[in-house]
Amino acid sequence: MNAEKLSPPEQICKFMSRIYEAKLTTVSGGNLSLKDLNGNIWVTPSGGDKGRYHSEDILKISPEGKVEGSKKPSVETGIHRSILADRPEFKAVVHAHPPGLVAVSLLRELPETMLIPQTANSVKNMKLAAYGCPGSEELKENVAKEFRDNPNTNVAILENHGAFVASEKSLMHAFGVFRDLDFSTRIQAKAQSFWGRPPKLISQEQLEYYNRSAVSELGVFKQETVSDREMELRKDICDFCDRAYRRDLFTQNIGVISARLDEDSFLITGSGADNAELTVSEVVKIQRDLVEEGKKPSRSVMLHKKIYEDNPEINAVIMAAPENAMIFAVTDLEYDLKTIPECYIVLREKISKFPFGSTIDRQEELAQYFRTRSPVAIVENDCYICTGTNIFNAFDKLEVIEFSAEAVFNGKLLGGPIKSITEKQVQEIKTQFGI
């Protein structure tokens, strides 16, 4: 669903609730603002339950500064108004205290943005704003000046506090940048802790290559009627997107699901769609070399197409970058499948790693790998690709990967070392489960 169709107060309630539900703030922390077409700024109130705001709680501030509403505006309203006044191109501002970004704010450092392409593309010239007491003129000026003095800056990390993210597009976009940056910072922290050194980053050249490849090579067809089976499959994709989002396997922007419809066609999530609220009409049909008219499929569509063409037994593909599993995608550490029997039973011998950019230039190799080697692949600094006989089957693999990775990470926190199961025990699993 496109949140931008909602009224400004409804959008603010929706994304404040999203921030709270995603555990990116406490019940009392964080504030949002949104500028409407008349130049009014809508802001969250001071205090209250951040997870349960209603439209009537949201305040309107006119361009002249007149406040309308039954509550007191957020204590950080001054910062929101300064950012929106100094940088008229911005439409929305998000502020909260998510644990990943607060962690770097405690070190008074900035997080890496070149860890995954989503943050590399969305975070511009991030700045560190000097400490100030919440609600003070000092904090307002410390934050406002970073946005005012740096014309392309869209993110500021506040020392010992949290982050401000502004967007020239929408509140939904600001939330997406905020969420993905916190998510990427958590991956950075876990990878560094596990590996004992900073994680691997993508270069500017690699990013440019990745971005250039977004152009689809597909023509267009007009969708006439939708069969019952296609409608069911569209609903399944939406349901699993929602589930993956709620279980922190997807973010709003990161995560793709596709499923085979028949010999000639498959369905895939759309580019720019909101994974938390995907609707059946946002799912895109690909038929041979044609894409459904008026829709833009995920940028990875050509890889999905190749996998289906070369692997008749594969009927679903999920691409995701879950927090714990990504430790192994941004370091040289191997993902060990011989940890718990469930992991071995679902994922088998070995998950191979492919270099960043392989979703673009190693499609043939990846399709062959899924046919002959393993149902799951890691693409460095990008994602995991899980294939299956249906969506449930591919989703199961994704969950097992993330849960096992979290268990291994926690084992390491407990002092390690992790002890793998032996070859004899593997043989016993193979016999027991007929593998």
Count CB-CB contacts under 10 A for residue 204: 9
Cβ 162 to Zn ion shortest distance, Å: 5
Query: Residues 6 or more apart from 152 whose CB is under 8 A from it?
Result: 124, 125
Closest residue (Cβ) to Zn ion?
A: 162
Nearer to Zn ion, 162 or 375 (CB): 162
Nearer to Zn ion, 19 or 249 (CB): 19
Nearer to Zn ion, 129 or 379 (CB): 129
Say how many residues touch Zn ion, by CB under 5 A: 1
Q: Compute the distance between CA of residue 390 and CA of residue 233 in angstroms, rounded to an integer.
A: 10
Cβ 169 to Zn ion shortest distance, Å: 23
Cβ 74 to Zn ion shortest distance, Å: 9
Cβ 140 to Zn ion shortest distance, Å: 12
Nearer to Zn ion, 94 or 286 (CB): 94
Q: Compute the distance between CA of residue 339 and CA of residue 170 in angstroms, rounded to an integer.
A: 44
Nearer to Zn ion, 102 or 318 (CB): 102
Q: Compute the distance between CA of residue 418 and CA of residue 405 in angstroms, rounded to an integer.
A: 12
Chain-centroid distance, C-alpha 213:
20
Query: Residues 6 or more apart from 48 whose CB is under 8 A from it?
Result: 57, 71
Candidate segments 86-94, 116-124, 158-166, 303-311, binder of Zn ion by CB under 5 A: 158-166
Nearer to Zn ion, 159 or 230 (CB): 159
* Contacting Zn ion within 249-308 (CB under 5 A): none
Nearest one of 360, 392, 393, 364 to 379, comparing CA atoms: 360
* Contacting Zn ion within 8-47 (CB under 5 A): none
Count CB-CB contacts under 10 A for residue 428: 13
* Contacting Zn ion within 176-205 (CB under 5 A): none
Residue pair 186/323 in contact (Cβ under 8 Å)? The answer is yes
Nearer to Zn ion, 102 or 115 (CB): 102
Candidate segments 16-24, 112-120, 160-168, 247-255, binder of Zn ion by CB under 5 A: 160-168
Cβ 341 to Zn ion shortest distance, Å: 45
* Three-state SS at 344: helix
x/- track of binding to Zn ion for residues 208-227 (CB under 5 A): --------------------
Nearer to Zn ion, 142 or 331 (CB): 142
The secondary element (H helix, E strand) that includes residue 92 is strand 92-96
x/- track of binding to Zn ion for residues 117-156 (CB under 5 A): ----------------------------------------
Candidate segments 42-50, 67-75, 157-165, 248-256, binder of Zn ion by CB under 5 A: 157-165
Cβ 139 to Zn ion shortest distance, Å: 9
What does the angle CA 110 – CA 200 – CA 303 come to, to the nearest 5 degrees?
Answer: 115
Cβ 272 to Zn ion shortest distance, Å: 29
Q: Compute the distance between CA of residue 110 and CA of residue 127 in angstroms, rounded to an integer.
A: 7
Gyration radius (Cα) of the chain, Å: 23
* Contacting Zn ion within 161-180 (CB under 5 A): 162
What does the angle CA 384 – CA 388 – CA 391 come to, to the nearest 5 degrees?
Answer: 90
Cβ 29 to Zn ion shortest distance, Å: 6
* Contacting Zn ion within 78-117 (CB under 5 A): none
Cβ 141 to Zn ion shortest distance, Å: 15
Cβ 26 to Zn ion shortest distance, Å: 10
Chain-centroid distance, C-alpha 22:
11
| Sheet of 162-167, strand order | 67-68, 59-61, 41-43, 31-35, 92-96, 162-167, 155-158, 127-129
Nearer to Zn ion, 117 or 162 (CB): 162
Residue pair 186/115 in contact (Cβ under 8 Å)? The answer is no
Nearer to Zn ion, 164 or 344 (CB): 164
Count CB-CB contacts under 10 A for residue 193: 12
**Binding-site ranges for Zn ion (CB under 5 A):** 162
